[in-house]
Chain A
Amino acid sequence: MPSATNASAEPAKPVFTASCHDVRYLTALLRGISFSNRATVMAHEGGLRFSVEEARTMTGDSYVHSWIFDEYEYNDPDFTQSQSQTQSSQATVVPFEIRLNTLIECLNIFGTAGLSSGSKQQHKKPRNNIGDDDDDSDRDGPLDKFFQGNTKGTGMRMSYAGAGYPLTLILAESSSGPTATCEITTFDSDPEDRLEVEIDNEDIALKVILKSSWLRDALSELDPSCEKLTFFGNPPSQSNNTSRSTPSPLFRILAEGMFGSTEMDYPNDREVVETFICQEPARFSYRFSHISKTLKALQVSIKTSLRIDSKGALGMQFLMPSGQAKEDDGTLFVEFRCIPLDDRL
């Protein structure tokens, strides 16, 4: 049900408005979950949450905190006492659906939403050569040369007026350059229809935190024809326990497919595995085609936290670059949750 863009009955205040001077970090968060085109957007006081799902088995969530934006304003459309009492600030109020790929295309309309800085440089060079003699007067203000360093990116202002209205984006590279206005059709979202994979945080069977590069190298090496991926966890062996000749590996990834299997073991080394919690030997299997959906986010992420509860529900959190100062007070992450394969089948 595409929404009407009739502006006559516009509500007084949009549900949310957000602006930022560089869309790259937002785009990276969205690209991470772009394996499915239809995303549910939930706005709340603390920011936006984009969710997608795959085959009723897997969910992907990007948490876009309000501090990623230069400005973020949220107005609860029908703020009632009862609603404010439900849970914390995470209580989602206005879910709506959008085409995620369309949003990403729009954010990248000037080709400067990629996280690699190389493409930006190429983009800028030819412009200086060609259009200068006639464009100088109205394009380059006296201060522009100071801003043309690596701060150049696409600036954005986003707003959503409420159910039935499009998500409006205004994008510009610089104050004097071209501006793009995008109206992305929104769809009603059915909260009942949403898949929620619950992870029992009280009953974690396996938890691993490691640098993303260690996991990325392992997963991207695997043949795409793999069918099944199994995570093994064993409690760290005591160093004085020398009775066993071959200690079982701390953390192992086993990939199985038509053409054989691959095993990857991670050593008990703080260089590799930052945190490892496992009380009893555990093994859980997942469909490789689902796990491989996380690769896009894994590729740009910094750290990975992987946890599996005793029923096998897998949660993978990827810490994403945020462009903020070094201190890690604010973190951006993308989370994937996946239901295990039933090993008895």
Chain B
Amino acid sequence: MRFRACVENVPTFCKIMQVIDRLQKKCIIQFKPDVMRIICLSDANEAGIQVWSEIKVSTLFNEYRIQSNADNIISMNIASASLLHALQGIQNALATSGTGSGLGGEEVLMKLAKKNDQALLNFALTTPTRTGRLQSLTYDVRIEVLRALDMTKINEPLCPDADTLVLLPSLPTLRSPVERLRALSSTLFVRANIGPPTKLLLEVTGDENEVKVKVEFGVKYVQINRQEEEDAEAPGKDKERLYSVPIVAKSFVKFLNCHIVNGHVIAAICHRHCLILYFYIGSAGADAGGVLTFYIPSLVDDGPM
């Protein structure tokens, strides 16, 4: 099992881990030849959120070399905080070295290592000093390598195609209403139509039926591709219809709290199934710096929608 790479985009990696750290203490990172996957399973947080993200290797790393007996895939359990700590330390060191532009020839090397039988992810930053000598900063992050067999037991949740996709309003706009709604009820209904006009509704009914609150946001519908556009034109699809999913209000609050980092979020609603939030770190689009995918399952609810 061999693995080494240069971390080219430390700030983005750092931001991703900041978000993950807010959600969960531990996560699974899986390095594949072309992508890095970050997985957070719902059993470790009571809110039921799962994160399944794929980040292209090329957006974060270069000189990426990986070898293993399991199809060249390496999976590991890692403490989010210690990885974040290492990345932040390196980021700070890069910033203070004054040559953060990359001209100074410093490089951040990440490799799999072993020390006293303990598997480690080793980060080493080498910077040239003014006198021309090299100085280095290293971080060892303890990891637990997962066997391929263990990984087969971890499956990504299956979802039907999203019924509607909308661009979420900016997160500070959402935070205040969502926190108030959460105070009123533990169940939050998220609804959206296709439109135009496209609207996103957040609804609660007080736990003691004492109040009903509906917050309506004007949002943009997100079209994935041309095909979708044609489908939407088809008469069969009702553009006014609201697609709804009841979720644990706390999980939405938790998601909003992850957002210390600015970024666009696209919300996909699978009617009565789940809410999927695609959080773009950096720019949105095909060449996005990174996408974190949050799954929030629907609550089982037999009531009228």
Contacts and interface: CB of A to CB of B under 8 A. Distances in A.
Nearest to A171: B215
B176 interface: yes
B172 A183 contact: no
B177 interface: yes
Given A102-B206, A129-B262, A184-B210, A109 B170 contact: no
Contact of B216 (A106, A131, A180): A180
A304 interface: no
Contacts of A129: 262
A270 interface: no
Contacts of B213: 106, 109, 180-183
Interface string A111-133: 11000000000010011011100
A105 interface: yes
Interface string B6-32: 000000000000000000000000000
Contact of B215 (A135, A179, A185): A179
B209 to A, nearest CB: 6
A263 B152 CA distance: 74
Contacts of B216: 178-181
Given A102-B206, A109-B180, A134-B264, A123 B172 contact: yes
A126 B172 contact: yes
Interface string B293-305: 0000000000000
B218 interface: yes
Contacts of A106: 180, 211, 213
A138 B221 CA distance: 13
A181 B214 contact: yes
B262 A178 contact: no
B169 interface: yes
Contact of B176 (A109, A138, A184, A185): A109
A83 B184 CA distance: 38
Nearest to A187: B210
- Per DSSP, chain A at the interface is mixed
Given A180-B216, A182-B212, A105 B184 contact: yes
B174 to A, nearest CB: 9
B211 A127 contact: no
Contacts of A111: 175-176, 179-180
Contacts of A177: 173
A135 B264 CA distance: 11
Given A105-B184, A106-B211, A134 B176 contact: no
A2 B167 CA distance: 37
Nearest to B168: A131
B256 interface: no
B183 interface: yes
Given A102-B184, A108-B180, A179-B216, A130 B211 contact: no
B239 interface: no
B93 interface: no
B171 interface: yes
A182 B210 CA distance: 10
Contact of A184 (B181, B211, B214, B264): B211
A32 B264 CA distance: 40
Contact of B180 (A105, A123, A181): A105
Nearest to A128: B170
Given A130-B171, A178-B169, A185 B211 contact: yes
Contact of A2 (B171, B180, B209, B218): B209
Given A102-B184, A111-B176, A135 B210 contact: no
| Band of interface residues on A | 20 to 34
Interface string A1-19: 0100100000000000000
A110 interface: yes
B226 to A, nearest CB: 20
B173 A127 contact: yes
Contacts of B52: none
A109 to B, nearest CB: 5
B214 A131 contact: no
A99 interface: yes
A220 interface: no
A100 B101 CA distance: 57
Contacts of B217: 178
A108 B173 CA distance: 13
Contacts of A110: 176-177
Interface string A282-305: 000000000000000000000000
B303 to A, nearest CB: 15
B176 A176 contact: no
B76 to A, nearest CB: 33
Contacts of A184: 210-211
A184 B205 CA distance: 10
B220 A134 contact: yes
A180 B214 contact: yes
Interface string A177-213: 1111111110000000000000000000000000000
B55 to A, nearest CB: 21
B211 A99 contact: yes
A88 to B, nearest CB: 33
B267 to A, nearest CB: 14
A126 B209 contact: no
Nearest to A173: B173
29 contacts: A2-B210, A5-B212, A102-B206, A102-B210, A105-B183, A109-B177, A111-B179, A126-B172, A127-B170, A127-B172, A127-B173, A129-B262, A130-B171, A131-B170, A134-B264, A135-B169, A135-B170, A138-B218, A179-B216, A180-B177, A180-B216, A181-B216, A183-B213, A184-B210, A184-B211, A185-B206, A185-B209, A185-B210, A185-B211
A-B residue pairs, 4 tightest by C-beta: A111-B176, A131-B170, A126-B172, A183-B212
Given A177-B173, A178-B173, 4 more contacts: A110-B177, A112-B176, A178-B177, A185-B210
